[in-house]
Amino acid sequence: MASSFRTTQLGEPTLQYPPSAETNCKTVSCAKAADDQLASPSKGFKARYGFLMRDAIIGLADGLTVPFALTAGLSSLGSTRLVVVGGLAELFAGAISMGLGAYLAAVQERQVYRVDEAKEREEIRLRPLSEEGKLYRMFQSYGISEEDAQGVLHALMDDSNAWVKFMMDFGLKSEEPDPKKAWIEGLVMGTAYFFGGLLPMIPYFAIKENVTHALYVSIGITAVILVAFGYAKATFAGCTTRDQTWSALHTLLVGTVAAGVSYGIVRGVNSAMSG
């Protein structure tokens, strides 16, 4: 019976892939690589801190794209001062917005979990036979017969708290959020956004006399960072070399298109207003 389960480093049975192992894995080969990671020593680290990596990735991705696109667009106006002031305004506003958004999302996630947990507990209390049937079907979906599952089922049904937790973990596939994570998630995402957006702006601080030259340097720096970032996030997800390369190119393409469109729109609007 014990061999039917995959166990975590904490000794708890699990029948599903952890969300952090399959983040950004869009192909079968990438998912297989994520499966191989389950047996690695880094599994415990990802289980505990994967949410921070997720927030950092989202924050950096937006930070590298949005402020870069904005400053590229503003550079078409020919004023370094305007680029710096406008870029910093967006940078601070965006970082605060992203941080608050991550914090509120984490708080809401915990509230939703509590509501679902209360509903599950009530269903077990009012309809125990129906919930017992769900347990049998759940195990059968993993190829575990009713006979083999008897011992675990009886142990769960003898402990209502364990029963509820099992149904939340494997029935609803819902992990209990840590109440302390909300402000950490907000801080990580906001900080990642700020530093991600600050990097493309550095040339405008250093090359104040020529905004076009600063734009070209910013494009070069950002292109390198986007490629490295795209490759790194796919590597963290456990993807294959091919998927890592595609992720790097895809990230670069998104940033390039965003900057190009922004530059063209601002320049067109400026020309229309000047004419």
Side-chain-side CA neighbours of residue 251 (13 Å):
27
- The packing angle between helices 181-198 and 43-75, to 10°, is 40
Q: What is the mean pLDDT of residues 259-268?
A: 83
Does residue 35 sit within a domain?
no
Domain of 243 in residue numbering reads as: 41-274
Does residue 20 sit within a domain?
no
Does residue 77 sit within a domain?
yes
- Among 31, 4, 54, 20, which residue's Cα sits nearest to residue 175? 20
Q: Are 207 and 213 in contact (CB under 8 A)?
A: yes
Does residue 26 sit within a domain?
no
Does residue 172 sit within a domain?
yes
The predicted-structure confidence for 155-179, as pLDDT tens digits, reads as follows 888 888 888 888 888 888 888 788 7
Q: Is the pLDDT of residue 32 over 80?
A: no
Q: How far apart are CA 178 and CA 167, in angstroms?
A: 18
pTM above 0.75, yes or no: no
Does residue 15 sit within a domain?
no
Q: What is the mean pLDDT of residues 35-54?
A: 57
The predicted-structure confidence for 84-112, as pLDDT tens digits, reads as follows 999 999 999 999 999 999 999 989 988 99
- The packing angle between helices 146-157 and 128-140, to 10°, is 140
Quote the number of domains for the chain.
1
Report the first-to-last Cα separation within the chain, whole angstroms: 79
Does residue 111 sit within a domain?
yes
Q: How far apart are CA 198 and CA 77, in angstroms?
A: 20
Q: Is the pLDDT of residue 31 over 50?
A: no
223-227, 238-242, 246-250: the lowest-pLDDT one: 238-242
Place of tokens 């229309």: 272
Alpha helices in the chain (DSSP H): 28-37, 43-75, 80-126, 128-140, 146-157, 160-166, 181-198, 202-206, 211-236, 241-274
Does residue 6 sit within a domain?
no
Q: Is the pLDDT of residue 201 over 80?
A: yes
